[in-house]
Structure 1
Amino acid sequence: MERSEVFERLNQVFCEVFDDDAITVTEETTAADVAGWDSLMHITLIAEVEEEFDMKFPMKSVVGMKNVGDMVDVILEADE
């Protein structure tokens, strides 16, 4: 899977989870950049991303993610 495809699919998940079609995620996007992205929404987001990509994030990966680029890295590693 290409990095650009992961971003396209992630962007759709973010728009659905946060009910905001104007969201466009980038490598540097963090919780501070998305209205409503708090700890509870983070859990929802992780669950929806796991469902979209048919994978499970290791807990150490979830804790270590600093931005969406890190999330993409973990998704691509799981796809290998």
Structure 2
Amino acid sequence: MVQDQLQRIFREIFSDDDLVLTDTMTAADVAGWDSLAHINLIYAVERQFSIQIADDRLASFASVGDLRQHIEELRHAA
């Protein structure tokens, strides 16, 4: 399930084993989610799901739900 895999990635990137993702969660809701963490997060997501997120989409995700939905769309298109 995409949500479970994302949660593992977020917990690893942000070193927080108690982090629980929701679709409405944003960078403002996660301690340490800055531009460097965002790059690390996207890189980990691309590796985990074997996808490539287009450069023009990298900054367009307003929430975790937007990212999850994009991952699901890319996986279904493959």
TM-score scaled by length of structure 2: 0.93
Matches within 5 A, 1:62-77: 62-77=58-73
Runs of 5+ unmatched residues, structure 2: none
Matches within 5 A, 1:32-71: 32-71=28-67
* Counterpart contact for 1:50–1:57, Cα < 8 Å: yes
Give, in angstroms, the shift of residue 61 of structure 1: 1.8
Give, in angstroms, the shift of residue 11 of structure 1: 0.1
Give, in angstroms, the shift of residue 27 of structure 1: 0.4
Identity %: 41
- Tell me which amino acid in the other structure corresponds to 2:29: D
Q: Is 1:13 the equivalent of 2:3? A: no
* Counterpart contact for 1:27–1:68, Cα < 8 Å: yes
Number of equivalences: 76
- The runs of 4+ residues in structure 1 deviating greater than 6 Å are none
TM-score scaled by length of structure 1: 0.91
Runs of 5+ unmatched residues, structure 1: none
Counterpart-to-counterpart distance in 1, 2:34 and 2:60 = 16
Counterpart-to-counterpart distance in 2, 1:62 and 1:12 = 20
